[in-house]
Amino acid sequence: MSAKPIFPGLERLGAGPLADAVVERFRAHAAAAHIVGERASIEGADLYVKGTPFPRRSRLRHALRRRVLRRALPRLSEYGNLRWLRENGFRAPEPVVAGAFWRAGMPRYQFLATHWVAPALPLRGALAAATPAQRGAITTALARDLARLHAAGFVHRDLYPRNLLVETAGPHYAIVFLDAWRGGERMQLRGAAWDLACLFLEGTALWTFDEQALLLDEYIDACTRAGRAPAPAKLVRAIDRARQTLERRAARQRRGDLAPIDRPFERERLLGALALR
């Protein structure tokens, strides 16, 4: 992803005066090992900037993945994926610069800056403020955009509701994809069912049962129109298996950024509802 994939100092994607100013700001953050995640005005631009030090235990793993597997570090991977999304007609924040500071052959700090997405609401907030008809329209927009994303060969792999924004254009809605560093347009062990399982991990509490059935029905219909019709029973069972894996992982990691997972995924009831549509 870079003309100089490994070198001491700074590995970087993104050029220009604004990118240079962001890099200079992050030099101080990197030296102090600051965790950053904030909206910021830099050189007159409205940006979202985030940066994190690499924990000591993960430095060697990331260095080996970069050197041996030629895999980009997370924030640089996210920069590339955001550019791919935008270039292929999907809504995503416009990236400004991403980088990583290296020392003694190990990555020590990584960062990313994107233009602020406005006006847009987090998916959870958009649904909470919407009427039943609007909730249906948002859910349909999400299903269709996700089907289009998968048809293009891109798997997000971190598609929790917190990583989705909703933009309004008159009576229509568009989905903005965030934090897309894990996935990409490449062969992966995780597939489309994993993305849907990420949604349904919290989605059983976020959507009513009828809205969950609508999401799956619209997704399957959009996939079919794109020439890759999934078998409903196979898809729903794959989602269920992946969701169980995610639920065990969330419990093991004590994830505080997830909503309470207190409503089951009603697999058989959903299959029955899909059969009637």
At 19 the pLDDT is 97
Q: Which residues pair with 110 in a beta bridge?
A: 52, 100
Per-residue pLDDT for 256 more than 80?
no
Domain final position from 49, 83, 115: 115
Asked if residue 99 and residue 52 are part of one domain, the reply reads yes
130 shares its domain with 109: no
What is the Cα 129 distance to its own chain's centre? Answer: 23
What pLDDT, on a 0 to 100 scale, did the predictor assign at position 181? 87
Query: Does 68 map to a domain?
Result: yes
| Cis-peptide, bond into residue 17, ω within 30° of zero | no
93-117 pLDDT per residue, tens: 999 999 999 999 999 999 999 999 9
Chosen domain end from 115, 142, 160:
115
Q: Are residues 272 and 143 in the same domain?
A: yes
If asked whether residues 169 and 83 sit together in one domain, one would say no
Instruction: Indicate the angle between helix axes 267-276 and 232-253, nearest 10 degrees.
Output: 150
**Do 264 and 158 belong together in one domain?**
yes
CA distance 106 to 128: 44
Structural domain of residue 26, as residue ranges? 9-115
How far does CA 58 lie from the centroid of its chain?
21
Mean pLDDT, range 121-143, rounded to an integer: 96
CATH number, domain with residue 142: 1.10.510.10
Instruction: Tell me the CA distances in angstroms from 205 to 70, 160, 161, 222, 258, one per residue in order.
Output: 39, 13, 11, 24, 11
What is the sign of the dihedral through the CA atoms of 251, 257, 263 and 266?
negative
- 187 and 150 fall within a common domain: yes
The tens digit of pLDDT for each residue in 162-196 reads 999 999 877 889 999 999 888 887 777 788 999 99
Q: Mean pLDDT in the chain?
A: 91
Number of structural domains (the chain) is 2
In a domain, 2, yes or no: no
